[in-house]
Structure formats: C-alpha cells, structure tokens
Amino acid sequence: MIFLQLYWEFFKIGLFSIGGGLATLPFLYTLAQTHPQWLTAKSIADMIAISESTPGPIGINMATFAGYQAAGIVGGVVATLGEITPSVIIIIFIARFLGQFDKNRYVKDAFYALRPAVVGLITFAGLRLFSVTLFPEGMVRIQETILYAILVFFVLRFKKVHPLIWIVLGAIAGIVIAFLS
C-alpha cells in the first residue's frame, strides 16, 4: 500500500514540477506536511546536500532518497519510477504528435508566467529551508546565521566553484564551530 501511495505522490511531482530538479523542492515540502512519517523539513535539507554532491539529475536523486527514507530500497525505486512516468508519457506524446512544441505560441505564453512562478516556488522552498536551519522555533541561531552570511558572500562572488566544494566547506565549518563552542 505504501508503495502505491509513494508512486502516486511522486507521479504528481513529476507531472507538475516544471523546469528541473530544484522545481521538485516545493512539492517535497508539501509532502513533508502531508506525510511527516516519510520525510521532514530537516531531512529535505540533507537530501539537497547529498543530491547536489553526487552525479545524476538532482530531482531523481532527491526522489530516490525520499523514497528510500519512506520505505527502503524498493521505496526509492518506486518513488523514482513514479516521478519519471509522466515525463515518459508526455514526451512520447509530444514526439509523436507535436514536432515544434517548444516554438508553439501558447507554450511560450504559458512559460512567460511559469518561469517567475517556478522561481517563486523555489523561493518558498528556500524560505522553509532557512526557517529550519537558521531560525528554528522562531529563534535566531547566531553561529549558523554568521556562517550563512560568510558562505553566501563567497558563493555569489565565485559562481563557477562546484556546489560540492561549498558543501564540504560547510561540513568542515559545522565541525569546527561545534569544536570551538
């Protein structure tokens, strides 16, 4: 039963997340609210870190991780299959019947608004991430907030540096802060 549920929830994510891996994040946060036994806001942050520092599409990595956490190895496979099913169906349909899909006027019109809406959804996911990491239970965590300010400065300054490097530096900083305090 849990496998069917997982498949269906990730099927919906695959169907409605437009614009790549991070676009699945807001759906994962709503999933954490409706199915807290599967994943939590905190575990999503860890999932992002793992998914960004391993090869493979981020969206698929997060689906596998979330499914695994909810129901083991089979859960990971089922969640991933659920997430890719809508893609496969829609793309086969487009390949067969709509050759110039991306140049269609209505598609372009829809994307004029879909793009900012997706950025809005990713911002929402980012705010949820901030609230568990920097302001848990309404309290400002000073050390983490300072670390954030430093990291964000360098991340924006050196855009070409691979995310994996920042994640490793974050891990080291976390250990050093704990060691000092």
Q: Which of residues 73-102 bind another protein (CB under 8 A)?
A: 73, 76-77, 80, 83-84, 86-88, 90-92, 94-95, 101-102
DSSP symbol at 101? G
* Nearest alpha carbon to residue 29 among 13, 50, 44: 44
Q: Is 48 exposed, middle or buried (0-12, 13-18, 19+ CB in 10 A)?
A: buried
At residue 76's C-alpha, the angle toward residues 74 and 80, to 5°, is 115
The single residue among 6, 9, 21, 71 that binds another protein, judged by CB under 8 A, is 21
Window 131 to 170, contacts with another protein (CB under 8 A): 132-134, 144, 147-148, 151-152, 155-156, 159, 162-164, 166-167, 169-170
Minimum distance, C-beta of residue 129 to another protein, in the bound complex (Å): 6
Residues 30 and 21: their CA atoms lie apart, in Å, by 16
Residues 122 and 22: their CA atoms lie apart, in Å, by 7
The single residue among 27, 39, 97, 140 that binds another protein, judged by CB under 8 A, is 27
The single residue among 32, 38, 69, 71 that binds another protein, judged by CB under 8 A, is 69
Residue listed under structure tokens 């997706």? 118
Residue 112 found at the interface with another protein (CB under 8 A): yes
Residues 50 and 45: their CA atoms lie apart, in Å, by 9
Residue placing its CB nearer to another protein in the complex, 4 or 177: 177
The single residue among 9, 58, 71, 82 that binds another protein, judged by CB under 8 A, is 58
DSSP symbol at 54? S
The single residue among 4, 20, 38, 39 that binds another protein, judged by CB under 8 A, is 20
Minimum distance, C-beta of residue 111 to another protein, in the bound complex (Å): 6
